[in-house]
């Protein structure tokens, strides 16, 4: 029994030792990224990400007019901030970009849902038309003759 406990403990310790470097790398990775970049956030990289997110939202069928307008305002702010070397304008542009990045998946999902609803409405409309055609085909002759006879009931025919 004692030997089995030692083997079990050794196995657990080995698993922990295998996972430990991965945990350390995950904890230190944000600091490494900051050291590589030299500063916290690159506005141009975030702008590219926002454009990609907007493209994905549009490809899903979302209405991206507001996102594009926000991105255009952010580009103008970045250009103005770089021209006069104003970090406040760049930070405002970054704020707009972050809003676009947060909003783009929602817009894309709304577009996907709208496309799915359109497909559902199309299927329902075609089904209703098909059922209506079958009902008319089945019951129209009988209904036509019944109405014909009822409307001509009082007619008298004379032999010549």
Is 68 part of a structural domain of the chain?
Answer: yes
Residue 47: count of CB within 10 angstroms of its CB = 20
Q: What percent of the chain has pLDDT over 90?
A: 46
Higher pLDDT, 133 or 38: 133
Residues 130 and 97 in one domain: yes
pLDDT(38) > 50: no
Residues 6 and 53 in one domain: no
Residues 24 and 82 in one domain: no
Q: What digits encode the pLDDT tens for the residues 69-95?
A: 999 999 999 999 888 988 898 899 999
Tell me the mean pLDDT in the region 23-29: 64
Whole-angstrom Cα distance, residue 50 to residue 78?
A: 14
Residues 23 and 46 in one domain: no
**What does the block give as tokens for 101?**
């990045």
Is 156 part of a structural domain of the chain?
Answer: no
pTM of this prediction? 0.57
Residues 24 and 64 in one domain: no
Whole-angstrom Cα distance, residue 48 to residue 71?
A: 10
Which stretch of 35-39, 43-47, 101-105, 144-148 has the lowest confidence by average pLDDT?
35-39
Which stretch of 22-26, 31-35, 51-55, 143-147 has the lowest confidence by average pLDDT?
31-35
Confidence of residue 39 (pLDDT cuts 50, 70, 90): very low
pLDDT(15) > 80: no
Tell me the mean pLDDT in the region 111-130: 95
Residues 81 and 143 in one domain: yes
Model pLDDT, residue 10? 57
Residues 69 and 138 in one domain: yes
Domain region containing 108: 41-151
Which residues are within 8 A (CB) of 98 and not within 5 positions of it... i.e. 6 or more apart?
46
Residues 18 and 79 in one domain: no
Q: Are 98 and 67 in contact (CB under 8 A)?
A: no
Model pLDDT, residue 153? 84
Of the candidates 111, 102, 97, 89, the one whose C-alpha atom is nearest the C-alpha of residue 69 is 97
pLDDT(7) > 70: no
Is 70 part of a structural domain of the chain?
Answer: yes
Is 106 part of a structural domain of the chain?
Answer: yes
Residues 59 and 109 in one domain: yes
Number of structural domains (the chain) is: 2
Residues 45 and 102 in one domain: yes
Whole-angstrom Cα distance, residue 28 to residue 156?
A: 104
CA 57 to chain centre: 6
Is 23 part of a structural domain of the chain?
Answer: yes
Model pLDDT, residue 26? 66
Is 158 part of a structural domain of the chain?
Answer: no
Is 147 part of a structural domain of the chain?
Answer: yes
Is 49 part of a structural domain of the chain?
Answer: yes
pLDDT(12) > 70: no
């Amino acid at each position: 029994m004692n030997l089995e406990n030692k083997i079990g403990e050794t196995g657990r310790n080995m698993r922990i030792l295998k996972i430990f470097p991965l945990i350390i790398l995950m904890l230190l990775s944000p600091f490494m990224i900051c050291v590589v970049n030299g500063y916290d956030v690159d506005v141009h990289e975030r702008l590219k990400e926002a454009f990609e997110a907007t493209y994905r939202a549009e490809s899903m069928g979302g209405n991206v007019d507001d996102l594009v307008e926000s991105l255009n305002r952010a580009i103008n702010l970045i250009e103005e901030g770089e021209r006069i070397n104003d970090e406040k304008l760049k930070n405002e542009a970054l704020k707009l970009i972050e809003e676009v990045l947060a909003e783009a998946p929602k817009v894309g999902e709304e577009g996907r849902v709208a496309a799915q609803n359109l497909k559902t409405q199309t299927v329902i409309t075609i089904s209703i038309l098909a059922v209506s055609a079958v009902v008319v085909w089945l019951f129209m002759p009988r209904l036509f003759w019944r109405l014909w006879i009822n409307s001509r009931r009082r007619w008298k025919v004379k032999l010549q």
